[in-house]
Amino acid sequence: MSAPSTGKPAPRLPLERPRKLYTLANPRKSLSLTIVTGLFALYCIVPMLWLVINATKSQQDFVSSFGLGFGGHFALWDNVAQVFTFQDGIFSRWLLNTVLYVVIGAVVSTFLAALGGYALAKHDFVGRRAFLLIVLGSISVPGIALAIPQFLLFAQLGITNTPWAVLIPSFINPFGLYLMWVFSDQAVPTGLIEAARIDGAGELRIFLRIAFPLLAPATVTVLLFSFVSIWNNYFLPLIMLKDPAWYPLTIGINQWNKLGSTAGNGELIQNLVITGSLLMIIPLIVAFLSLQRYWQSGLSMGAIKD
């Protein structure tokens, strides 16, 4: 890893006066910093180029052409059309399921994490330390070992093989809770809360109207993480769902992939697996881009002075 160390610009020499603010409105761009960061970006992007390039290949070209080169003919649109028509167009259904799971799951889990994280940071109550330890301890238990007990519990309640079996666990985002707690602690000035209380605002109103807006960058981060992790959630739906009509995309695409490696009447459709995967990340990119503007600092309003 050579990139990171140069992330901090070298100290300025004293003769360079007057000093400028690089972090504010009109920073001077640095070419060398861009290049070094670019190297890391290259590491991130080259494997993804593979994905994009190979989504343009037919199955036949896929097994016979070089991985980072194009195939005999450009089959991207064929592949996309096939993805949406294969197995009576079940891909669309999986896509809709995934959107359902992701939107509900991410919104609910982020809100619960914000509510809980804020309470942990700004409210005092008995057993807070124990609570933190229990949450940390629980998520340290490998999920694989919990899958069967979770299944049996959900089966008792009769919700296996229904969307609830995927949704309910996705409402819990312990990492989001921790992030929200850390960020609440930093970004929500206690003075502001105190002032609101003096003005007679209720606690929920303080959270919704004052704290929550201040937590925007953290909320966006947690929302994105929830979004992605639910989008890519594999193991739990695999255990919980047996009806393809409720599968999320990950299960469906994995199943397609396995079709080609099961002795018997499997069909080798790597081209569809790859194109399907590419299609899968497009909504994530869209989500990411549309959340861009919330990256602004929550405290820049300068509303508080103590």
Partner 1 sequence: MPKKRLRAAAAIAASIVALAGCAGGESTSPNAGVPTDQPITLTVWSWDGTVKEAVPGFEKLHPNITVNVVNAGSSTDEYTALDNAIQAGSGVPDIAMFEYFSLPLFAIPGKLSDLSEFGAKDLAKDYVEAAWGNVTIDGKPYALPSDYGPAAMFYNQSVLTQAGVAAPPTTWDEFYQAAKKVRALGGDHYITNDSADIFVLMSLMWEGGGRPFKVNGTDVTIDFKDAGSSRAVAFWQKLLDEDLVNTKITNWSDDWNRGLNEGTLATQLIGGWFTSTLPERAPQAAGNFRVAPLPQWEAGETSGAENGGSAMAIPAAAQNKAAAYAFLEYFTHGDGLQSRIDAGAFVPNLSNLNNEKFLSATNPFFGDQKYNQVLADASKNVATGWQYPPFFGWARTSYEDVSAPLYDSRQGTLADVLETWKQRSIEYGNEQGFSVR
Partner 2 sequence: MSRQLLTQRTSVSDVVADHQTFRKPKRRNVGLAFIAPFSVLFLFVFIVPIGYSAYISMFQNKLIGGKVFIWFDNYIKLFQDSQFYDGVIRVVLFTAIQVPIMLFSAIALALAIDSLRLHGSRFFRIIVFLPYAIPAIVSTLMWGFMLGIRYGLIGSLNKAAGTSFNPFAPETTMISIGVMVTWGFTGYNMLIFYAALRAVPRELYEAAAIDGATEFQIVRHIKLPALRSSLIVTIIFSIIGTFQLFNEPNILTTLVSNSGITSYYTPNMYAYSLAFTGSQQGYAAALALVMAVFTIAIAYAVQIKGMKNAFNK
**Residue 63 in the binding site for partner 1 (CB under 8 A):** yes
Residue identified by tokens 């809360």 is 193
CB of 96 to partner 2, least distance (A): 18
In a 3-state reduction of DSSP, which class is residue 159?
coil
What is the chain's Cα-based Rg?
24
**Residue 265 in the binding site for partner 1 (CB under 8 A):** yes
Could you tell me which of 266, 237, 269 has the C-alpha nearest to residue 250?
Answer: 237
CB of 48 to partner 1, least distance (A): 18
CB of 161 to partner 1, least distance (A): 6
Task: Tell me whether residue 33 or residue 63 sits nearer to partner 1 (CB atom).
Answer: 63
- Secondary structure letter of residue 162 according to DSSP: S
Task: Tell me whether residue 237 or residue 298 sits nearer to partner 1 (CB atom).
Answer: 237
Count the site residues for partner 1 by CB under 8 A: 29
**Region at 32 (left for phi over 0; alpha for psi -120 to 50; beta for the rest):** alpha
**Residue 47 in the binding site for partner 1 (CB under 8 A):** no
Task: Tell me whether residue 79 or residue 160 sits nearer to partner 1 (CB atom).
Answer: 160
CB of 27 to partner 2, least distance (A): 4
**Residue 144 in the binding site for partner 1 (CB under 8 A):** no
**Cis (ω within 30 of 0) for the bond into 18?**
yes
20 Cβ contact list (under 8 Å, min separation 6): 27, 28
Asked whether 105 and 231 are in contact (CB, 8 A), the reply is no
**Residue 239 in the binding site for partner 1 (CB under 8 A):** yes
Task: Tell me whether residue 14 or residue 243 sits nearer to partner 2 (CB atom).
Answer: 14
18 Cβ contact list (under 8 Å, min separation 6): none
CB of 261 to partner 1, least distance (A): 4
Could you tell me which of 187, 168, 169, 167 has the C-alpha nearest to residue 117?
Answer: 187
Measure CA of the first residue to CA of the last residue in the chain; give whole Å. Answer: 43
CB of 291 to partner 2, least distance (A): 11
195 Cβ contact list (under 8 Å, min separation 6): 304
Among partner 1, partner 2, none, the one that 231 touches (CB under a kind-dependent 5 to 8 A) is partner 2
Among partner 1, partner 2, none, the one that 46 touches (CB under a kind-dependent 5 to 8 A) is partner 2
**Residue 162 in the binding site for partner 1 (CB under 8 A):** no
Chain-centroid distance, C-alpha 1: 25
Q: Which stretch binds partner 1 (CB under 8 A): 164-172, 262-270, 279-287, 292-300?
A: 262-270
Task: Tell me whether residue 88 or residue 125 sits nearer to partner 2 (CB atom).
Answer: 125
**Residue 131 in the binding site for partner 1 (CB under 8 A):** no
